[in-house]
Structure 1
């Protein structure tokens, strides 16, 4: 019976527990012999549902009947909403069945009645209908979007079937099976087809088209076959598929489809490994499809031929001489899906090539603070085609003759590198807040020599009617690339700096805990000097800088400087700029700087107020339960539904500036500066109201890329969000009121509208 205090207030309810069924009631009557019973004023939880019944009768171990019952996902004694039925039958943690049922809000019944109800109470995956959304599209009309069915076939695979119908006669359909085998593999496949009609049949602007798309993702668990990996990521289809996807402005302008299937194997206790890869790239604007299959890579890890099988004592210096092999062979082809004779296109455009690299290294013992490493490299390239260009005076053009065959080119290089680290420390007074500053310098110098082994692989020929000549490489370089012409013997150098300090923690007087703060993460310069070149021996200088201020503002910057002077016409002359400006690094040809910052108030601990159950990626057994692509798009368009009220305010912003300097065809230079700024901010107006916005602005063009805002209201077991993007190329608004429970996520009031500027 109920337990009350001296004032008559209830302090404890009778609790009944049997197996995994638990309930709290005003009164419990139970017959241990028949295992049947009756309770009054009973609360019990079934899955995500809280069920209340004025009377609940237990007729068997798992079957119960409730009279004057209600069920809800609100955990309050007086719930904000509930579904009320005179009679309810439920099977413990499995299913519930009702007769006529109607909803109540704040205890007020709504004039909506359903003749019966069937409600799943079990956790985990179960088959069922997927509720659609109602949307509107200017080109396709009103839509019943994403009506579907989710089917669980077994513990190892399931599938989602979806369809959309538009009022102008268009439709889409998709089937998306997923599969999973623990410790073996997992993957998902999706096949989509769309049939759209714009305007009406007989109109001059009537358009009807059908497009298809297939995606496949597969990954194998490395524990299944140690040393063997197989992965697939396929995205292929009709060239117009992306631009026809409704209500997805970001995808409409994606003009690339890419696929990769790869297999690799590493042999145990063997120094070699192999990788085979096939890929596909599709430009939907040009309707050009490129195929790369196969791409075979064979590597032999560094082996040390002079090492003793049973070493005694210290390792001798020559035993660290190592040799390796890296081989890559590729074949490519391409075709246009708009033209006929696809197989002929594939055959005519087929091309293969290979590269081989044999690096020889020697790890010497440190010479004091210096780490010295000599190296030798041999490279060889194989080509399928030789290209001979000649000037055709009769037709005033450059002709190319292609010769099929097997051709090779080779190159060798020799190098010696030395690196070290130099530290400097400056200590302050013990009473100072800053205790010490530390400066680290990391210089690297390498000497390299490359003989001219490819002089015969280059030739000169006339390129225009005025008699000008050009220098060309004999072989088709689309697979293996080319070797550079000429001899190189020079010095490459780089210098990097790091500056940090140690400060006393606030309130600490014993210096027991010092905090390290990085002032400059990196400040460096890189370049090279060619000793054997006849002019312009010094390369361009690359300057880079990176730091993080107060662990909140990340700054990165880089610039490329030309150390040579230019004449009045903008021509580069072989005279270093330091003769004219001793303190200058040179003429800045390009530069960029980027600032990113993030600030927020509060501890930022995620609360249960947000829609935590909205995005389950895997369920019981690891099977995927939702379609990630659609959920990610939904999140980007409806940030208000995923607002975190535990963060009082937050501001994320970024700024980037890019500078470029171009040579004009008629002489002189043109400079171009591009500036962008982006902002993402949110703030709690009250503990239950939150407002936020995201914006992007191009300062150079004075153009708004996109601005979107949201208003979110937290209502305990419900939530409301308003999302609007009033300006920019993609404009939309959505209004959504829905329960937080993932079980009732489709029981919502939603209004969505999209507007595009194509």
Structure 2
């Protein structure tokens, strides 16, 4: 090996010298040394020496598959200012309007730093030279959105740390729609797609997301988006001031739609019944179409109430609701003189069928029945607005149409009426009523041909009405005795008519009517000599009678126009008169009468059909003439608008009618009183209706009509025996502004009426739901920026005036003279005052008077309802959160009975 080292050294020196010599110009001198071939050869390596030197691993190949990359999709990113890639830090920096998208995850922020080795991102705000922050992060995963100050998120584990997060959750489903719960937290840990853990959180429904007027502070909580928030110790803050409203733990449902749960009750105290809870219970959604609410009231003296309600709806099919209430009322305590125990109940059902469900059949129901004093004596506060209800009415009906010619309409109806103010507490029911009617047919002409003349215009119809009529009292209701006086009967009727023109201007009509009446009960009357009285027996069994009548009428229309000149303010008058005269004849049906001899030996006639629900057959022949005259009067008035091309039409009298009759068969007092009725709107938007009755005959000293004309008795042509007038109108602040009130559409008018919390359901101004309209209006205007002070004071008022006069016996008495009024005054954008009252001008007293004060407190609603005097004198105070999510956070108090 020694010669080899010398040889390599020689070659190295030779190479260096050659390079050195070649760098010198004109100094290269070749050496006289001959190159000889090296006789030493290097030994060759064996071909398998590498394999022999490497030991083979005795462990078999690993069967565990290689770990797939955790990122399952491409990460997309961009930024407005710059995108910087740092291979040293293994990070990507995005600045100004930075955005990252990965699967269903979206992240936007002012600054984003992404570690592509750890698959983590950090997002934060931008800070300008003045220290103001902008471009707060926006994080969205699926449907969940979070708006924090900063966030750290791992794409692999889907976990995140969030600082000062803000999110909004839609929850609840009620009459006013879904509400939004705002969730704030100083620090949030996202465990997975559906679970967040909050530290120092705030929950509120306030619309002000920066400075909420109230919030519930939770120290630690578990947050499941769109489902629930489970928190530890929580208490309410109002304007950042802590309140004693606190709970050791809390549960906040965030589900949308219908979810089973407890209905939180209302607490209070009644001096006659003790402490109470009201309207507490459970809500259960039975299916997608039906739900059920069961609530109850309990008083410590033993009084209690139970309520059950269900709402069902199937789109394009039907909808309805059922409400059943029962109350056991205990007054005072056992052993005291004023102790009493009564019960109340009420059943309300409403059902309507969609017109698309079945074009030829329909089922509907409207039921309201129960104890007469239910609303008056009810314990529950929700029934207080119905204390003025005078009548319960119900109707359940099924109708079906057979469209083939001639079409037939049929219906089956169950009805009920109940007067809650009468001492007898009478209940009238029809169980059931069957009706069927055939369309009008013309037997002497083809169906589609034009009808001319008397015979071709002859037409007839057929209808049948059958009833099972029951009259009972509240004491016998739902007892076997209620059916003792039931009346069952049916009436078949065939009206026939025709009409034609006479002398071109006269319209003539002829008509006849045939009726066949069936009855399942008749009477038999006879004089009992032993008892010395008339005995009436009721006979069960089928019997019938018929009756018929004839009539004719002739009428025309006359027009009169007076042109006063286009230069006049009233340019023309137009008077339309429609006089008519008719004659009717009804024969005597004495064949359906029987007689008995009374104790004086006189023969008395009666009909066995006196108890028929369709009346009795006429014993006397009827023959009478009737007269009527209808008038209308309108004027053409020059329009105040100089640009108008046509005059304005004003209805001076929209209707003025007179009617009377003359009995040809009567032996005296042949003329009937003359009836007059009319309507006018000579004052715009103020309709006036009036009516009067005039008697042409005089009366004696006892007030009875005598067969002497009043004019022959020293009086006028006729005596004014009765009269009435009524009008109603509305006023509002817009009418007195420049330009007047704008004309509203029908939908807007209907919306105004339904939203008006003091709208009158009748002349007394009763209302069944006092707060619904106001809640809806407050929610709708929650986001409007309204000034604190304004030079306008919006108001509206409604008035109803009624007066009636009676002079049938020269008493010249005003029987009714009253003015009803209601309205609202909006003292400020947040304050509203409403009133509802009336004044009896005859008896000098006020009707049921009610004041309502409302204050919009942002997230809270305050109301005070006050009836200062009268039978229902009371007050009610309420303050609570408007949102349905936290509607149980409230305080209310009411006066005692």
Class of the TM-score when normalised by the shorter of the 2 chains: 0.7 to 0.9
Of residues 451, 461, 473, the one that matches 1:324 is 461
Question: Is 2:670 the counterpart of 1:534?
Answer: no
**Native 8 Å contact 2:557 2:579 kept in 1:** no
Greater alpha carbon shift after TM alignment, 290-299 vs 248-257:
248-257
Q: Which residue of 2 aligns with 1:178?
A: 311
**Native 8 Å contact 1:640 1:722 kept in 2:** no
Of residues 292, 304, 313, the one that matches 2:430 is 292
How far does the alpha carbon of each residue in 1:347-379 deviate from its partner, in whole angstroms, 9 at most, with x for none?
Answer: 643432222211112243696454433222222
**Native 8 Å contact 1:68 1:84 kept in 2:** yes
Q: Which residue of 1 aligns with 2:626?
A: 492
How far does the alpha carbon of each residue in 1:676-730 deviate from its partner, in whole angstroms, 9 at most, with x for none?
Answer: 2222132223332222322233232333332222222222222212221120000
Q: Which residue of 2 aligns with 1:731?
A: 873
Residue 334 of structure 1, CA deviation: 5.1
Residue 75 of structure 1, CA deviation: 1.4
Alignment of 1:21-170 (within 5 A): 21-27=144-150, 29-30=152-153, 36-47=159-170, 48-76=180-208, 77-137=210-270, 139-170=272-303
**Native 8 Å contact 2:159 2:190 kept in 1:** yes
How far does the alpha carbon of each residue in 1:176-223 deviate from its partner, in whole angstroms, 9 at most, with x for none?
Answer: 233222223333333333223222223344323445444433333343
- Specify the SS of the correspondent of 2:446: coil
**Native 8 Å contact 1:651 1:681 kept in 2:** yes
- Specify the SS of the correspondent of 1:500: strand
Greater alpha carbon shift after TM alignment, 28-37 vs 685-694:
28-37
2 CA distance for matches of 1:530 and 1:425? 36
Residue 251 of structure 1, CA deviation: 5.5
Q: Which residue of 2 aligns with 1:626?
A: none
**Native 8 Å contact 2:550 2:586 kept in 1:** no
Alignment of 1:113-262 (within 5 A): 113-137=246-270, 139-237=272-370, 244-246=377-379, 248=383, 257-262=392-397
- Specify the SS of the correspondent of 1:318: helix
Q: Which residue of 1 aligns with 2:805?
A: 659
1 CA distance for matches of 2:211 and 2:435? 67
2 CA distance for matches of 1:436 and 1:355? 55
Of residues 628, 631, 635, the one that matches 2:769 is 635
2 CA distance for matches of 1:540 and 1:649? 46
2 CA distance for matches of 1:108 and 1:706? 42
**Native 8 Å contact 2:556 2:580 kept in 1:** no
Q: Which residue of 1 aligns with 2:78?
A: none
CA RMSD of aligned residues (A): 3.9
**Native 8 Å contact 2:854 2:863 kept in 1:** yes
Sort the Cα spacing of 1:211 and 1:501 in 2 relative to 1 into closer, same or farther, 3 A.
Answer: same
Residue 51 of structure 1, CA deviation: 2.3
Sort the Cα spacing of 1:367 and 1:161 in 2 relative to 1 into closer, same or farther, 3 A.
Answer: farther
1 CA distance for matches of 2:837 and 2:394? 32
Question: Is 2:395 the counterpart of 1:263?
Answer: no
2 CA distance for matches of 1:502 and 1:598? 26
Residue 78 of structure 1, CA deviation: 0.6
Residue 438 of structure 1, CA deviation: 4.7
Sort the Cα spacing of 1:292 and 1:340 in 2 relative to 1 into closer, same or farther, 3 A.
Answer: closer
Sort the Cα spacing of 1:556 and 1:13 in 2 relative to 1 into closer, same or farther, 3 A.
Answer: farther
Q: Which residue of 1 aligns with 2:692?
A: 559
2 CA distance for matches of 1:509 and 1:11? 59
- Specify the SS of the correspondent of 1:519: strand
Sort the Cα spacing of 1:97 and 1:499 in 2 relative to 1 into closer, same or farther, 3 A.
Answer: farther
Q: Which residue of 1 aligns with 2:509?
A: 373
**Native 8 Å contact 1:424 1:439 kept in 2:** yes
2 CA distance for matches of 1:716 and 1:146? 26
Q: Which residue of 2 aligns with 1:275?
A: 411
Greater alpha carbon shift after TM alignment, 99-108 vs 724-733:
99-108
Residue 143 of structure 1, CA deviation: 2.1
How far does the alpha carbon of each residue in 1:391-445 deviate from its partner, in whole angstroms, 9 at most, with x for none?
Answer: 667656443344445443333222233444444445565566x464453424141
Greater alpha carbon shift after TM alignment, 81-90 vs 402-411:
402-411
Alignment of 1:686-725 (within 5 A): 686-725=828-867
**Native 8 Å contact 1:63 1:90 kept in 2:** yes
- Specify the SS of the correspondent of 2:868: strand
Aligned length: 726
1 CA distance for matches of 2:643 and 2:426? 69
User: TM-score, normalising length from structure 1?
Assistant: 0.84
Residue 464 of structure 1, CA deviation: 9.2
2 CA distance for matches of 1:460 and 1:476? 13
Q: Which residue of 2 aligns with 1:618?
A: none
Residue 117 of structure 1, CA deviation: 2.2
Sort the Cα spacing of 1:173 and 1:24 in 2 relative to 1 into closer, same or farther, 3 A.
Answer: same
Q: Which residue of 2 aligns with 1:623?
A: none
1 CA distance for matches of 2:272 and 2:556? 65
Alignment of 1:646-685 (within 5 A): 648-661=794-807, 671=813, 673-685=815-827
Unaligned runs of 5+ in 2: 1-109, 111-124, 171-179, 735-740, 758-765, 787-792
Of residues 581, 587, 590, the one that matches 1:455 is 590
The structure with more strand, counted as a fraction of residues: 1
**Native 8 Å contact 2:575 2:633 kept in 1:** yes
**Native 8 Å contact 1:415 1:446 kept in 2:** no
Of residues 544, 569, 580, the one that matches 1:445 is 580
Alignment of 1:427-438 (within 5 A): 427=563, 430=566, 434=569, 436-438=571-573
User: TM-score, normalising length from structure 2?
Assistant: 0.72
- Specify the SS of the correspondent of 2:358: coil
How far does the alpha carbon of each residue in 1:513-534 deviate from its partner, in whole angstroms, 9 at most, with x for none?
Answer: 6554433332222222234433
Residue 105 of structure 1, CA deviation: 0.9
How far does the alpha carbon of each residue in 1:322-368 deviate from its partner, in whole angstroms, 9 at most, with x for none?
Answer: 1111111222345567579954x456434322222111122436964
- Specify the SS of the correspondent of 2:698: strand
2 CA distance for matches of 1:54 and 1:547? 70
1 CA distance for matches of 2:285 and 2:652? 56
2 CA distance for matches of 1:464 and 1:588? 43
**Native 8 Å contact 1:640 1:721 kept in 2:** no
- Specify the SS of the correspondent of 2:885: helix
**Native 8 Å contact 2:581 2:628 kept in 1:** no
Sort the Cα spacing of 1:183 and 1:613 in 2 relative to 1 into closer, same or farther, 3 A.
Answer: same
1 CA distance for matches of 2:804 and 2:368? 33
2 CA distance for matches of 1:463 and 1:240? 45
Residue 160 of structure 1, CA deviation: 0.8
How far does the alpha carbon of each residue in 1:631-689 deviate from its partner, in whole angstroms, 9 at most, with x for none?
Answer: x97734999878879981122222211223455xxxx7574522222221322233322
**Native 8 Å contact 1:597 1:652 kept in 2:** yes
How far does the alpha carbon of each residue in 1:32-81 deviate from its partner, in whole angstroms, 9 at most, with x for none?
Answer: 56555454444332111122233445444444444332121111121111
Residue 276 of structure 1, CA deviation: 1.7
Q: Which residue of 2 aligns with 1:629?
A: none
How far does the alpha carbon of each residue in 1:16-46 deviate from its partner, in whole angstroms, 9 at most, with x for none?
Answer: 4444334444445555565554544443321
How far does the alpha carbon of each residue in 1:433-479 deviate from its partner, in whole angstroms, 9 at most, with x for none?
Answer: x46445342414142231323234457878898x9997754422341
Sort the Cα spacing of 1:88 and 1:633 in 2 relative to 1 into closer, same or farther, 3 A.
Answer: farther
Residue 152 of structure 1, CA deviation: 1.1
